[in-house]
């Protein structure tokens, strides 16, 4: 029995680094593919948005003097590299996969078409959305929120390196308290580092729940899909 039938999984580019300091750590990539396969085998329809920070961070380059639009386009291309790597890992474990990119590059991926993406999901193919929104100044968090709405996902799964949301940074404050449930407005008002404010606002306006959990605890994606007590749920009204 699963709680969610169609999910949007948001992965950071840093999730692929593993024990390395840069790029793609293949054992970590393979482990993520196995996690996704275990959920796909339950009949869950899965879309994925992955960042590019393990290869290139547009915001960081812009802060050092690079033109922001150029830097963001380079970051979008980094997400395509990660998406192709994840596609390869998924197909090696028997998961049918499609990569759709907001920046046209027909030789390596499909161009993003909403109805085609939904059709792939209905056919139980994992769809990886690459290239961000196709526009500079928008993060992959915002891409995840936008694509989740477009494909009518039940929830956004935000995979992180901590157990969920805390009232302050647990890496800095030993007395940080874990929050199992929180409203969108509280995330915005307290400026909690969950997703950027544009993404949170978009989810709030369209009543899209966000489940934040620890990707490094293997099995958490499947537990979350089954509705087990994993991570922090961000939504409109506390239940």
- State pLDDT tens for residues 26-54: 999 999 999 999 999 999 999 999 999 99
pLDDT in tens, 164-186: 999 888 888 889 899 999 999 99
- Can you state the angle between helices 140-150 and 197-205, rounded to 10 degrees? 20
Round to whole Å and give the CA distance between 234 and 157: 10
Closest of 160, 181, 166 to residue 229, by C-alpha: 181
Expressed in percent and rounded to 5, the helix, strand and coil fractions of the chain are 40, 20, 45
Query: How far separated are the first and last CA of the chain, in Å rounded?
Result: 22
CB neighbour list of residue 62: distance below 8 Å, 6 or more residues apart: 68, 71, 72
Class at the top of the CATH hierarchy for domain 6-235: alpha beta
pLDDT in tens, 138-161: 999 999 999 999 999 999 999 998
Q: Cβ of 227: how many Cβ atoms within 10 Å?
A: 12
Residues 60-87 have a mean pLDDT of: 94
CB neighbour list of residue 173: distance below 8 Å, 6 or more residues apart: none
Instruction: Give yes or no for residue 55 having a pLDDT over 90.
Output: yes
- Can you state the angle between helices 114-122 and 140-150, rounded to 10 degrees? 70
The DSSP call for residue 188 is H
pLDDT at 191: 87
By the 8 A CB rule, do 28 and 67 touch?
no
Give the C-alpha distances (Å, rounded to integers) separating 198 from 117, 139, 238: 23, 9, 21
pLDDT at 2: 93
Domain ranges within the chain, ordered by starting residue: 6-235
Helix or strand (DSSP H, E) at 117: helix 114-122
Q: Alpha-carbon dihedral of residues 158, 162, 163, 169, nearest 10 degrees?
A: -110
By the 8 A CB rule, do 11 and 32 touch?
yes
By the 8 A CB rule, do 168 and 219 touch?
no
SS3 214: strand
């Amino acid at each position: 029995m699963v709680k969610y039938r169609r999910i949007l999984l948001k992965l950071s580019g840093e999730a692929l680094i593993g024990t390395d300091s840069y790029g793609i750590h293949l054992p970590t990539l393979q482990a993520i593919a196995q996690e996704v396969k275990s959920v796909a085998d339950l009949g869950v329809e899965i879309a994925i948005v992955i960042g590019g920070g393990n290869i290139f961070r547009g915001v960081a380059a812009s802060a050092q003097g690079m033109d922001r639009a150029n830097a963001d386009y380079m970051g979008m291309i980094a997400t395509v590299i990660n998406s192709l790597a994840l596609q390869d890992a998924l197909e090696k474990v028997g998961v049918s996969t499609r990569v759709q990119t907001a920046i046209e590059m027909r030789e390596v991926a499909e161009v993003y078409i909403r109805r085609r993406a939904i059709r792939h999901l209905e056919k139980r193919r994992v769809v990886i959305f690459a290239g961000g929104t196709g526009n500079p100044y928008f993060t992959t968090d915002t891409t995840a929120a936008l694509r989740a709405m477009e494909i009518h996902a039940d929830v956004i799964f935000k995979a992180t390196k901590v157990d969920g949301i805390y009232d302050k940074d647990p890496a800095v404050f030993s007395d940080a308290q874990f929050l199992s449930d929180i409203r969108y407005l509280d995330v915005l008002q307290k400026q909690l580092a969950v997703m950027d404010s544009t993404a949170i606002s978009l989810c709030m306006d369209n009543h899209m729940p966000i489940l934040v959990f620890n990707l490094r605890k293997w099995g958490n994606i499947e537990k979350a899909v089954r509705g087990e007590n994993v991570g922090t749920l961000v939504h409109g009204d506390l239940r």
